[in-house]
C-alpha cells in the first residue's frame, strides 16, 4: 500500500466543546464549516485528520481544550467529508496508557462511517505478531494505520427524526415483538429487488413490510445496526460477524447495510426505513451493545476508544495492563465514568430524536448496571435513564445478565424496564419435551411471571416471553436436534450452548420419516400457540413462523450466508405456509381479546357474585388445582381466563369486558380425557383452536357441553371460548 498523501497542517479556529462529535454549523461571521469536539481527558495533544477525495490527509491540531474536550472549528468542511483523529500521549501499557498517534482513530461520535475494518497488523497499537505473545501488547507499533481503516463522515443535521405524534406508540400490553436481522431477513426475499436485499431500503420495501403486517407484529427488534467490526479470528477463517455484536460506532448506522452508498447517505436511508415501518404501524426497537466494543482485550486492535483514552473509557483490572471483562468479549465499558455515561445516553437520545426509533433492547444489560463491586439497580446508568425526559418514554428491554459474578439478575430491573425472561423460555421448552417434574413453574410463566415481576409497580408486560432468539436453535431446529451442529463456525463445535432443552422427536436432523415430520410440525404449533396465548409480551424470531432452519447450528453469529438468512421459499410448502397463517391468526386473536394481554397481574380472587376467578387452573378431572396437584407429575394443564370485569379501562374510562377462554395444554404422548369445567365457569365451550390439526385455516366451530370428557389429543393445545349461557350461537373472533 503506498504511503498516504499529506497536506500542510491547518490550524482550526477555536470552536466550542459542545456538542461532541462533528457538527456542521456557521462559524464567526457566518462562515460555514464544522465544529469538531472530542473528549480525550488525559491526552497530551489531539490532531483532527481531514481526508480529501484522493485520500490526501490534512492534520489540524486542536489546541483548545475545555474540561478534557479538545475542540476546533474548521471553515469550509461540509457534509460528506471524511475525518478521524490522532491522539498523542504516553505509551505505558503497565499503567493503562496506550496512546499511539500512528493510529487513525474513529470519532466515538461519528454519525456515519465509510469502509470496513479489515484488521491488518497496521491497525493494532502494539506489534500484533510479536514473537513473545505474552508481552506483545507492550511493544508499540509505529506504522500508520490510516490507509487501512474506515473514516468517519461529517453528516448534516437535516432530516431529523420522526415526530412523536407520528410514531405508532403501541402500548406495552398490545406489543408483539419480532426479532429480525436487517440483512438476513431480506437477502433471499423474492419480492425485494436484488439491489436492495440485505439493506435498510430492502427492509423498507413493501414486500418486506407486507409480511410483517400480514403477521400482525407491532414492533421489529433489529439485531445490532450500529457500526461494527468483524473479529480478527473470523476474518482469518474466511468468515464474518453476521449478528453485529461487536460495535465500534454508537452513532453510525452500519454502512454495509446501506444500498444508497456512502458519504453519509446511509443515515437518510435508515431514517426512510423507520418512516416506512412507522407508516405500517410498526415500531422499531434496536438491539444495542453498550457493554463492550470491537477493540477486545489488550491484544485487540486500536480503532477508537483505546487510542483516545484507554483508561478513561474501559474498566481495567488492578493490573491496569489488563481489561476487566464481564462481557466475554475482552473488554467492558466503564459506565461509572461521566464521559462514558454521556457517550451512551447521548447515543440513545440521538437514535430516538434524530433517527426516529422507538426503543432499545440492551445486550448484557447487567454490565451497564455495575458499580465498582457489583450489579446495582441504583447504578448511575439506570438512574440516568429513569430521569431522562426522552429515554424514559421509549421501550426499554434488558437482557438481564452478563458473564461476571452476580450478573444474572432476571426480575431485578426497576420499573420502566421489560426483560428477556429466560425462565419462560426454559419452562415452556421443558414442558413440551416432557422434562418438567410438575407444572408449578409453567403456571407462573403462562400467567405473566408474577413471582419475578409482581413488585414495585411492575406489570406483566415486564416479561418478554420468548422460546427462541437469535442466540440458539431456531424453533424448527428446537424440535429437530438434540445436539448443536456448529462445525461450520470453525471452532470444533465447542462454541454455542450445550443446554438446549430440545427434543428431536425421534430423529436427529432432517428426516424423511413422515411420522417424525408430522410430530415436529405439531410441536411447532404447540410452541407458537403457547407463547402467543401467554400473558406478557411475546417475542418471535424472524422465520420461525415459516419453519426456518440453521441445520442445527445454535450459534450462527458468523454465518452470513444461507444458514443465517431467512429462506422465503419455505412458503411454497403448504405445511409451512399453514404455520405462518396460524401465527397470524393467533396474533389477530390476541389483538382482538384484551383478556389475552392483561396490563395487570391476575389476582386469583373469586367474584362474590358467582365465585368465578379472573384466573383459574384445572386438572384433567375438571376440578380446580389444589396445592397437591401443583406438586404432582402431570402432562396436562387447563387455564381459565375470565373476561369479566377486566382491570383495564377503555379510552374514556369505561369498563372493559371480554369473552372468557379455556386453554388446555397436553404434552403427553397419548390422548387424555379432560373434563370441561361446568358452572359457574361456563355452560359450554366453543372450540377455536386445536394444534393437533395440521391445517388451521378454519376453526372447527365445535361446541362441547360443560362436564363433557373431551378427548384431548396427544401433544396439543386447545383453545376454547367459554359460553356463559345456554345459547350456543357460534361467535366470530
Pairing of strands 703-705, 21-26: unpaired
Q: What DSSP state is assigned to residue 698?
A: S
| Helix, strand, or coil (residue 648) | strand
- List the one residue out of 733, 676, 685, 681 whose CA is nearest residue 710: 676
Instruction: Count Cβ atoms within 10 A of the Cβ of residue 259 and give its class: 0-12 exposed, 13-18 middle, 19 or more buried.
Output: middle
Strands 646-649 and 655-656, how do they pair?
antiparallel
Joined grid coordinates for residue 225:
445496526
Catalytic residues: 363, 399
C-alpha cell at 323: 481489561
Residue 219 and residue 170 in contact, taking contact as beta carbons nearer than 8 Å: yes
Angle separating helix axes 338-353 and 305-313, nearest 10 degrees? 120
CB atoms closer than 10 angstroms to residue 553: 26
Query: What is the C-alpha separation between 561 and 239, in angstroms, rounded?
Result: 10
Residue located via cell numbers 461521566: 338
Q: Measure the CA–CA gap between 287 and 245, rounded to whole angstroms.
A: 9
User: Beta strand pairing status for 463-465 and 417-421?
Assistant: parallel
Q: Under a CB-based contact definition with an 8 Å cutoff, are residues 689 and 699 in contact?
A: yes
- Are 400 and 409 within 8 A, CB to CB? yes
Left if phi > 0, otherwise alpha if psi is -120 to 50, otherwise beta: which for 359? left
From the CA atom positions of the chain, what is the Rg in Å?
A: 28
Grid cell for residue 686:
366453543
Question: Taking Cα atoms as reference points, which of 45, 35, 13, 200 lies closest to residue 109?
Answer: 35
Largest CA-CA distance found in the chain, in angstroms, rounded? 91
The three three-digit cell numbers of residue 492, written as one number = 470444533
The set of residues, in sequence order, having a beta carbon less than 8 Å from that of 504 and lying 6+ positions away, is: 479, 480, 481, 482
**With contact defined as beta carbons under 8 Å apart, do 186 and 206 qualify?**
no
For residues 555 and 490, give the distance between their C-alpha atoms in angstroms, rounded to a whole number: 11
Whose CA is closest to 192, among 177, 179, 211, 178?
Answer: 211
Tell me the C-alpha distance between 719 and 621, whole Å.
Answer: 18
SS3 687: strand
Amino acid at each position: 500500500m503506498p504511503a498516504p498523501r499529506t497536506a500542510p497542517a491547518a490550524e482550526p479556529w477555536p470552536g466550542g466543546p459542545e456538542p461532541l462529535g462533528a457538527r456542521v454549523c456557521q462559524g464567526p461571521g457566518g462562515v460555514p464549516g464544522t465544529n469538531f469536539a472530542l473528549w480525550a481527558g488525559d491526552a497530551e495533544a489531539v490532531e483532527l485528520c481531514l481526508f480529501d477525495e484522493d485520500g490526501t490527509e490534512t492534520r489540524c491540531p486542536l489546541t483548545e481544550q475545555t474540561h478534557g474536550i479538545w475542540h476546533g472549528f474548521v471553515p469550509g468542511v461540509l457534509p460528506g467529508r471524511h475525518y478521524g483523529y490522532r491522539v498523542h500521549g504516553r505509551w505505558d501499557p503497565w499503567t493503562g496508557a496506550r496512546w499511539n498517534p500512528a493510529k487513525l482513530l474513529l470519532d466515538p461520535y461519528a454519525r456515519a462511517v465509510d469502509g470496513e475494518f479489515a484488521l491488518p497488523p497496521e491497525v493494532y497499537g502494539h506489534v500484533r505478531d510479536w514473537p513473545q505473545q505474552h508481552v506483545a501488547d507492550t511493544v508499540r507499533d509505529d506504522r500508520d494505520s490510516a490507509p487501512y481503516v474506515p473514516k468517519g463522515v461529517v453528516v448534516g443535521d437535516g432530516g431529523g427524526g420522526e415526530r412523536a405524534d407520528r410514531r405508532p406508540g403501541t402500548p406495552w400490553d398490545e406489543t408483539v415483538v419480532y426479532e429480525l436481522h436487517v440483512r438476513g431477513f431480506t437477502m433471499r426475499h423474492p419480492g425485494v429487488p436484488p439491489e436492495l436485499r440485505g439493506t435498510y431500503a430492502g427492509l423498507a420495501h413493501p414486500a418486506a413490510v407486507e409480511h410483517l403486517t400480514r403477521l400482525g407484529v407491532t414492533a421489529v427488534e433489529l439485531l445490532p445496526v450500529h457500526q461494527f467490526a468483524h473479529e480478527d479470528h473470523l476474518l482469518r477463517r474466511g468468515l464474518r460477524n453476521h449478528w453485529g455484536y461487536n460495535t465500534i460506532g454508537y452513532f453510525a448506522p452500519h454502512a454495509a447495510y446501506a444500498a444508497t452508498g456512502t458519504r453519509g447517505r446511509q443515515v437518510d436511508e435508515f431514517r426512510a426505513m423507520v418512516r416506512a415501518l412507522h407508516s405500517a404501524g410498526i415500531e422499531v426497537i434496536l438491539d444495542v451493545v453498550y457493554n463492550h466494543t470491537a477493540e477486545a482485550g489488550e491484544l485487540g486492535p486500536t480503532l477508537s476508544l483505546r487510542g483516545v483514552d484507554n483508561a478513561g473509557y474501559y474498566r481495567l483490572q488492578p493490573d491496569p495492563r489488563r481489561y476487566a471483562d464481564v462481557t466475554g468479549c475482552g473488554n467492558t465499558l466503564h459506565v461509572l465514568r461521566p464521559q462514558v455515561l454521556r457517550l451512551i445516553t447521548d447515543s440513545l437520545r440521538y437514535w430516538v430524536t434524530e433517527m426516529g426509533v422507538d426503543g432499545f433492547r440492551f445486550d448484557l444489560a447487567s454490565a451497564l448496571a455495575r458499580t465498582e463491586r457489583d450489579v446495582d439497580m441504583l447504578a448511575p446508568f439506570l438512574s440516568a435513564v429513569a430521569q431522562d425526559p426522552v429515554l424514559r418514554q421509549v421501550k426499554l428491554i434488558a437482557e438481564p445478565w452478563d458473564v461476571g459474578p452476580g450478573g444474572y439478575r432476571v426480575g431485578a430491573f426497576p420499573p420502566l424496564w421489560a426483560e428477556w425472561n429466560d425462565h419462560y423460555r426454559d419452562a415452556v421448552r421443558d414442558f413440551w419435551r416432557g422434562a418438567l417434574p410438575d407444572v408449578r413453574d409453567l403456571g407462573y410463566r403462562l400467567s405473566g411471571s408474577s413471582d419475578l415481576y409482581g413488585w414495585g409497580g411492575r406489570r406483566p408486560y415486564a416479561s418478554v416471553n420468548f422460546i427462541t432468539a437469535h442466540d440458539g436453535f431456531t424453533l424448527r431446529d428446537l424440535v429437530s436436534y438434540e445436539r448443536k451442529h456448529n462445525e461450520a463456525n470453525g471452532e470444533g463445535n465447542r462454541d454455542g450452548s450445550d443446554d438446549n432443552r430440545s427434543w428431536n422427536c425421534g430423529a436427529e436432523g432432517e428426516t424423511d420419516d413422515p411420522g417424525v415430520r408430522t410430530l415436529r410440525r405439531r410441536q411447532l404449533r404447540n410452541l407458537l400457540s403457547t407463547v402467543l396465548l401467554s400473558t406478557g409480551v411475546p417475542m418471535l424470531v424472524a422465520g420461525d413462523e415459516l419453519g426456518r432452519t440453521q441445520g442445527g447450528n445454535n450459534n450462527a453469529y458468523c454465518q452470513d450466508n444461507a444458514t443465517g438468512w431467512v429462506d422465503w421459499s419455505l412458503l411454497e410448502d403448504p405445511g409451512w405456509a399453514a404455520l405462518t397463517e396460524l401465527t397470524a391468526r393467533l396474533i389477530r386473536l390476541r389483538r382482538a381479546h384484551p383478556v389475552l394481554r392483561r396490563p395487570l397481574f391476575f389476582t386469583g380472587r373469586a367474584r362474590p357474585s358467582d365465585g368465578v376467578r379472573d384466573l383459574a387452573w384445572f386438572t384433567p378431572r375438571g376440578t380446580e388445582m389444589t396445592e397437591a396437584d401443583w406438586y404432582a407429575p402431570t402432562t396436562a394443564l387447563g387455564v381459565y381466563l375470565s373476561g369479566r370485569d377486566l382491570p383495564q379501562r377503555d379510552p374514556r374510562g369505561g369498563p372493559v369486558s371480554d369473552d372468557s377462554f379455556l386453554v388446555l395444554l397436553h404434552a403427553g404422548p397419548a390422548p387424555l380425557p379432560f373434563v370441561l369445567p361446568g358452572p359457574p365457569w361456563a355452560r359450554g365451550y366453543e372450540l377455536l383452536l386445536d394444534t393437533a390439526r395440521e391445517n388451521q385455516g378454519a376453526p372447527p366451530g365445535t361446541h362441547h357441553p360443560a362436564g363433557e370428557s373431551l378427548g384431548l389429543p396427544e401433544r396439543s393445545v386447545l383453545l376454547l371460548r367459554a359460553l356463559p349461557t345456554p345459547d350456543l350461537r357460534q361467535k366470530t373472533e
